[in-house]
Amino acid sequence: EDKVVQSPLSLVVHEGDTVTLNCSYEVTNFRSLLWYKQEKKAPTFLFMLTSSGIEKKSGRLSSILDKKELFSILNITATQTGDSAIYLCAVASPGGYQKVTFGTGTKLQVIP
Amino acid sequence: GAVVSQHPSWVICKSGTSVKIECRSLDFQATTMFWYRQFPKQSLMLMATSNEGSKATYEQGVEKDKFLINHASLTLSTLTVTSAHPEDSSFYICSARDHLATDTQYFGPGTRLTVL
């Protein structure tokens, strides 16, 4: 059974801190890894990673994938209260319906 | 960016009635749409995958007669919760995959269903 595990489950930091969120996976067939941010409603897309060692960056957020060790990290630098959310990691597998398996999420709370 | 809408945003219904939730891709064609359910403080649970013009594929443990899915066009999928019961109360989220893109799914805003 495909599995995606995120850690930590929950995290509280002060504004300005840097955080690293972890995602490890075990899937039969890997195609890509995706990061989403979920605030009050549905998740919003952050990154899609397919190749090892290539960092994707968007503002203060960055992510990298290690396909050998089967994990990815999401970094957020100079955190702001607006970064408070649940961060979801998902792995897409090839196939007729391109199945996507989600992790349980990491709840990040940034306090002033 | 790609936009997915859901309607309604929020619905309250009586036990035993049926509720239809619509999911639309507004600026792209979605050959594949996904329906998720999310309980408080939990991650998304995939219920079913629907492909335009064919029957939906349901995940293990999801009753296909209870959660009817129709994907009649490249921009619209519907989820009908039949004979709803209080335990069906949940947050239902759809996502759509652009047929020109790879694995990225774009999520709708979700529908909060409360069954009394």
Omega within 30 of 0 (cis) for the link into B40: no
Question: Of A43, A44, A98, which is closest to B103 when you measure between CB atoms?
Answer: A98
Residue pairs between chains A and B whose CB atoms are closer than 8 Å: 52
Which residues on B lie below 8 Å from A102 (Cβ)?
43-44, 46
Would you report the helix, strand and coil content of chain B in percent, each value rounded to 5? 5, 55, 40
Q: Do A99 and B110 touch (CB under 8 A)?
A: no
> Token digits for A46?
């952050």
pLDDT in tens, chain B (116 residues): 678 999 998 999 999 999 999 999 998 888 889 999 987 767 788 899 888 888 898 988 899 999 999 988 889 999 999 999 999 999 999 998 876 665 677 888 889 999 99
Please answer whether residues B27 and A85 qualify as being in contact, where contact means their C-beta atoms are separated by less than 8 angstroms.
Answer: no
